[in-house]
Chain A
Amino acid sequence: MTQNGVEFHFKTKFDQTILLGKKAKSVAELLKNIKSVPDSSIYFHTHKFLQQHHYLSPEPPNDFAYWVSTVLSEDALGEGLSSIDVIQFRRIDDLRQSIAEVIEKFLSSGPRNVEAAQGEEFYFMALKIFVLPTPYTAHTLTDFKNFLKLVSIQSLYYHIFDARLRLEQGENDFSIFFRKLGHDRLAEEILRLDPYTHTLEGLRQKVLKLVDQYD
């Protein structure tokens, strides 16, 4: 039964990777570019692994952490960058600031001359997303569960990750819908999930289980 005429349109998204033509071969060059690239680039490099390796838990770190550890062997900096708690940020620019601060602190501790070998430089990219409506519109929690099982993980990714940080709504689409349905506690429980610590399939199952408790 429809509750208050509230609807949830499941959307899906497709990603396009843009090459920015900028590269870094040292930590200092990495920092310089991090400060100037568009938000869509910071988002790409902090979320690419999550999306490309969404079946892994714990997931590999963000691109910056992976590169400084694997290519430059700067493990301490890699650890600092990979432990940045992405879930706490509501704006990409704040996340950018936090990454820059970790690198600045590292650079201030002494001279660093390590350079990547040719071909192993850090290449800056960015993400363009195309959002499409799926045929699924939920009016109730039961509909929601049924349709969440049918959509692709890109759809889940869009409503949980892109909506919150890429579109800077500050929260995920599911919680907004549940609140409109009057399920404030469910909305809060979904908000409390740290999606960055689950595989995407695991996250889908977790959301389904939580919704089940309220349906």
Chain B
Amino acid sequence: MIDIKEYASVIGQNELDELFLLAKKFEGKTLQNINSTAVGGGVAEILTHMIPLLKQLGINARWDVIKGNERFFVITKNMHNALHGVKVDISQDDFEYFLEVNRMNAAEMDFSGDFIFVHDPQPIGLIEKRKEVGKHWAWRGHVDFSKPYLQTWDFLAQYINKYDAAVFSAPSFSRELEIPQVLIAPSIDPLANKNKELPEETINEVFSRFQIDRSRPVITQISRFDYLKDPVGVIKAYKKVKKYVDAQLVLAGGGATDDPEGAKVMEEVRIEADKDKDIFVLFLPPASDIEINALQRGSTILLQKSLKEGFGLTVSEALWKSKPVIASAVGGIPLQIAHKYSGILTHTIDGTAYWMKQLINEPGYAKQLGVNGKEHIKNNFLITRHIKDYLLLFLSLFNPGDVVHL
């Protein structure tokens, strides 16, 4: 477990002291988080890191997980896809079953927290219990709701509107609601294996293991092999640059090996790479955090050329390593990069190629982008800021007005 005091070396002692000052307002209070899975997925990852830190701040933080069977999770998977805009019709029967599972969980769950924080659609129906237990309730949608299929959205909106407040990860994910909406971006943990400082020997070891030459420019995209991450587009952009610059390209990421689409994307990537010995396609197993960290730290430029993105935390991870980042202006990425100040935002393969060439040829400017990018992440996208935002969310539920003197 990471000692919260270690964060002082990252954010400064005064920032950490002030976080403790804020946490004092929650002395003796219980913050109860509820979601649908204890492992896997972004929400579980955030809570796994955050709960121990909240406890060290003196807050009684709890985490409960609802139970569901296969039918329930098939329905919630369909809801998830519908929220992403896929036209999936869910039957009235399935909506009823979804609510029934929520009610069964509500009947068994101990709602003794002072603040109840429900994550994502799966447990959303627990709010029906509010009449009985009272308390302050907030709901957080972690997925991109910008263009949902309306049948599912309309169903969920009835329940969201029963909470005291809703939280979204990016401005474009928010919808018209009857309750206050708060922006809370996700975060990275600067002390986790994926982000911590690494000795130069570790970086060199990883590069030599994959036979990548650090004496020449290295352009890297870390992401799973998925059409939405556009790995083929990355190779096309790289080929345009390769005519002028002797650079290497690394495409590294994981993904489910039994995912038929993943295998198809890998195949297309291999065809596009066309036996170019300077293109490295690395399929990394789970628990490759140190390798990913090393690949990012040892690269010249990092890319995130997604066609669609949730928040896109890989961009924060890249910027945290003081690297110049070129990324698509989609999802939450524009929140992380101010174009030409803390990174580069592009829309096309040509634009990506243009900026790759520019940044390789202008290392001074590229370095400054990296320095600014790291500072931006330090101030806005670390786990300590995320904790602060959660505390403010619950304080806001009983402190109205634009300016609150505590």
Enumerate chain A interface residues (CB-CB to B < 8 A).
12, 14-21, 38-40, 49, 52-56, 60, 66, 70, 119-121, 123, 125-132, 134, 150-152, 154-155, 166-167
Contact = CB atoms under 8 A, between A and B. Distances in A.
18 contacts: A17-B183, A19-B181, A20-B181, A21-B174, A21-B177, A39-B402, A52-B376, A60-B341, A70-B339, A119-B146, A119-B172, A120-B334, A121-B172, A128-B404, A130-B395, A130-B396, A152-B14, A152-B18
B181 A129 contact: no
Contact of B372 (A39, A55, A130, A134): A55
Contact of B182 (A12, A17, A56, A150): A17
B49 interface: no
A125 B168 CA distance: 12
A207 B355 CA distance: 40
Given A56-B372, A66-B338, A130-B399, 17 more contacts: A14-B22, A16-B182, A16-B393, A53-B341, A53-B375, A54-B379, A55-B375, A70-B345, A123-B171, A125-B183, A126-B402, A128-B396, A129-B404, A130-B22, A131-B405, A132-B21, A152-B12
Given A127-B402, A167-B403, A120 B329 contact: yes
Interface string B380-406: 100000001100110110010111111
B351 interface: no
Q: Which A-B residue pairs are the 8 nearest by beta carbons?
A: A123-B171, A17-B183, A19-B181, A19-B174, A152-B14, A40-B402, A55-B375, A16-B392
A126 B177 CA distance: 16
Given A18-B182, A123-B171, A128 B329 contact: no
Nearest to B395: A130
Contacts of A54: 379
B175 interface: yes
Interface of B is mostly: mixed
Contact of A14 (B168, B372, B388): B388
Tell me which of A49, A129, A150, A154 has the highest count of chain B C-beta atoms within 10 A of its own C-beta.
A129
Given A12-B18, A54-B379, A132-B22, A123 B172 contact: yes
Nearest to B374: A55
A19 B341 contact: no
A128 B184 CA distance: 13
B392 A150 contact: no
A203 to B, nearest CB: 15
Nearest to B146: A119
B176 interface: yes
Contacts of B392: 14-16, 128, 130
